[in-house]
Every structure is written in structure tokens, then in C-alpha cells.
Amino acid sequence: MSDDPTPRQIKWINRQRVLVFAARGINHRHRHLMEDLKKLMPHHKRRKMRDLYLWMSNVPNGPCAKFLVENVYTMGELKMTGNCLRGSRPLLSFDPQFTKDAHYCLLKELFIQIFGVPKNHPKSQPFFDHVYTFMILDNRIWFRNYQILSEDGALAEIGPRFVLNPVKIFSGSFGGATLWENPKYISPAKLRQAFSKKAGNKYERRIEKKVMNEATRPETGYPDIEGADFFKGDPLEKAQDVVKEEENNSDTDDDTSENEVPIVAKPKHKFSMMLTKKKPEKVIRRKQLKAKSKAISDQIKKRKQFKKKTMK
């Protein structure tokens, strides 16, 4: 019946989502309309604004490549001294490694087709005055833009700067079979997850540190002083008593020298003799604390293993 409450489904069966994104160059009214549409559709999905991915494709047959863009610096941020005429054709300079590996050869041809301005294009100028350089370092492609100052090869950087971290190469246009995949690529989401997991273990590390400090800490701060009576009373009177004892000891030394009695070296304070004595009770106490710390660390390791099993 319609009046009966609908049974709640525990398992999420229909996992279809709607991707909401905007084209470049939208104004504030269009952006606010997009936010309103997102509020109307609770099953929408939007990419995080932290990462930038770049797709380069040859339409309609392919191939295409997906890159993660890193270390982005725009022309406005750099404020370089170089300046070139807008619409002029660029020279393309590639690293020698582009000719050694098959996937770099494919990317080189893709860059030539995309960044190379066709000759006699109506919106271009009929001369060259800047150079695009593509360098390979640390399994990434580094892009730089330089102005040609003179015919002898003098250059001045213009910008922008960015680094392309290749992710995958596909056979089709924005899809198809995977021709190549970067084995050393780690997604930014996994890196952030690892950092958050490392920060989440601060409590366990703090507990382990406390246990280790307790295990290695001595029972008293002054091992040669027994009891707390030493710190009671007026410190000035204690100092005077110490001075008197030293004077009495010096007088006794003088008397022995007059009677020509051989002098035997004696410690000035009675507490210094305690340093040479062994204290088996402290050794036993430290062993107990170390055993306790080991038991606590074993419990923490078991909890971590249990969490990993439950997560799997």
C-alpha cells in the first residue's frame, strides 16, 4: 500500500552518478547556476579542485595521452623579461630521449601535431621568434618557452612553466585500449591518503614514546642521594653545615700532618661513595619496565593488524 513505509535498502545497488563540470570562460552567473544544479542533484559528482589533469588527443581516431600537470607557473606569476610577438610560429625542441623509447616517440609526434602552428595559418605570423622546449627528467616532461633574442642563439625565458607527468596512453580518442601505462605514477589522492594515515598514527607513537621514557627513566633524579630528607630544611643552614664539616676535616688533616701521620685520601662527601655501589633493585625495576613497554607495543601491533584485516 502507498501508506506503508518503503523498506530501507541497505545495499547501494544503482551506482550511477552524474558528472557536473563547466567549460572554460564561464562568467559568475553561469557558475552560480551550476552550483544550483548541483544542489538539485544529490547523486552528482565533481572533481576535486586540487589536481589538474591534461588530455592530448588526435581526433577522431586517436591516440590520446593523459597527464598530471605539476609545478604550474603562469606568465603573470613569473614576470619574465622575455617577450615575443603574439601569433608568431614557434620552433619545437625535444630532448634526445624522445627518440629512444617507443612511448616517448608517440608523445613527440602528438606534441608536434598539437603545438606546431601550421604554415600560412590566417591567425599566425610568417616568422619564428620563440622556442618551445620539451625536456625529460625524473620520468616527467618539463615544458619551457624561450624568446629568440639574436641569431647567435641567445634566449630569454617567457613562460609559462609546467611539468607533465604521463599517466596512460590510449589507442583511441579519449579512450580505447591502453597502449602504455606509467608504472612509477602515484595518484595525488593516494599520496594525501598516506600523509593522513601517517598523521593519524601520532597517538600511538606518543604512547610508545611515553612507555619507553618510563622504562629508561631512573627512579630518582639523584642516584647518590637516598631519601627525601636531604631537601628538607633551610638551604642556607645546610650550606653552613657543609662549610663547617669541610673546616673540621681540614683541621683534622693539619693535626695528622703535625704528628707525621701518613695522609689517606678520603672523599669529601659521604654521598660520593654511593656511586660505586651496585643497586640490584634498580636493575630489576628497569627490566620490569622494559617488559611492560614490550607488552604494550605488542598490543599496539596486534591492533594495527586487526584494523588491516577488517579493512580488507
Secondary structure element (H or E) that encloses residue 292, with its range: helix 280-311
Averaged pLDDT of the chain: 79
Q: How many other C-beta atoms lie within 10 A of the C-beta of residue 147? A: 19
Instruction: Name the CA dihedral angle for 267, 268, 270, 276, rounded to a multiple of 10 degrees.
Output: -30
For residues 181 and 272, which has the higher predicted lDDT (pLDDT)?
181
Distances (CA, A) of 226 to 120, 272, 281: 97, 12, 14
DSSP class of residue 165 equals: E
pLDDT at 198 over 70: yes
pLDDT at position 254 is 58
Comparing 305 with 143, which gets the higher pLDDT? 143
pLDDT at residue 272 is higher than 50: no
Q: What's the pLDDT score for residue 255? A: 57
| pLDDT over 90 at 142, yes or no | yes
Neighbour tally for 145: CB within 10 Å? 19
Q: Cα(309)–Cα(214) distance, rounded to whole angstroms?
A: 31
Query: Distance between CA atoms of 108 and 127, rounded to whole angstroms?
Result: 23
- What percent of the chain is predicted at pLDDT more than 90? 27
Residue 270 pLDDT greater than 70, yes or no: no
For residue 25, what is its C-alpha cell?
570562460
Query: pLDDT for 72-86, tens place per residue?
Result: 998 888 888 778 888
Query: What percentage of the chain carries pLDDT values higher than 70?
Result: 77
Q: Pick the residue with more confidence: 303 or 260?
A: 303
Burial of 166: CB neighbours in 10 Å, binned 0-12, 13-18, 19+: buried
Residue 18 has a pLDDT of: 77
CB 18 within 8 A of CB 45: yes
Specify the higher pLDDT residue, 149 or 25: 149
Report residue 308's pLDDT band, with 50, 70 and 90 as the boundaries. confident
pLDDT of residue 268: 46
pLDDT at 273: 45
User: What nine digits make up the cell of 292?
Assistant: 611492560
Whole-Å CA distances, 54 to 210, 273, 305? 48, 76, 39
Would you say residue 209 has pLDDT above 70?
Answer: yes
Q: What share of the chain is helix, strand, coil (3-state, %, to 5)?
A: 40, 20, 40
Task: For residue range 92-133, list pLDDT tens digits in order.
Answer: 999 999 999 999 999 999 999 999 988 888 888 888 889 999
Report the DSSP pairing between strands 64-73 and 161-170: antiparallel
218: CB partners within 8 A, 6+ apart:
282
Question: Residue 235 above 80 pLDDT?
Answer: no
Binning pLDDT at 50, 70 and 90, where does residue 64 land?
Answer: very high
96: phi then psi, degrees, rounded to nearest 5: -60, -20
